[in-house]
Amino acid sequence: MSNFILYSIIASIVLTVMLNVLPLLFPDAATRLQKKIEENARKAIAQHEDGARPRVKVFFPWKAMLIGSIVLTVLLNLINLLVG
- For residue 67, the model assigns a pLDDT of 92
| Residues 6 and 82 sit within 8 Å (Cβ to Cβ) | no
Q: Is the pTM of this model over 0.85?
A: no
- Torsion angles phi and psi, residue 69, rounded to 5: -65, -45
Angle of helix 2-25 relative to helix 62-83, nearest 10 degrees, comes to 130
Query: Mind listing the pLDDT tens digit for each residue in 12-46?
Result: 999 889 888 888 888 888 889 899 999 999 988 88
What's the rounded mean pLDDT across residues 37-59?
78
How far is the first Cα of the chain from the last one, in angstroms, to the nearest whole number? Answer: 15
Rg of the chain in Å (alpha carbons)? 20
Residue 28 per-residue DSSP state: T
Residue 63 sits in which domain range?
A: 2-83
Distances from the Cα of 14 to the Cαs of 10, 20, 43, 53, 71, in angstroms?
6, 10, 38, 44, 14
Q: How many domains does the chain have?
A: 1
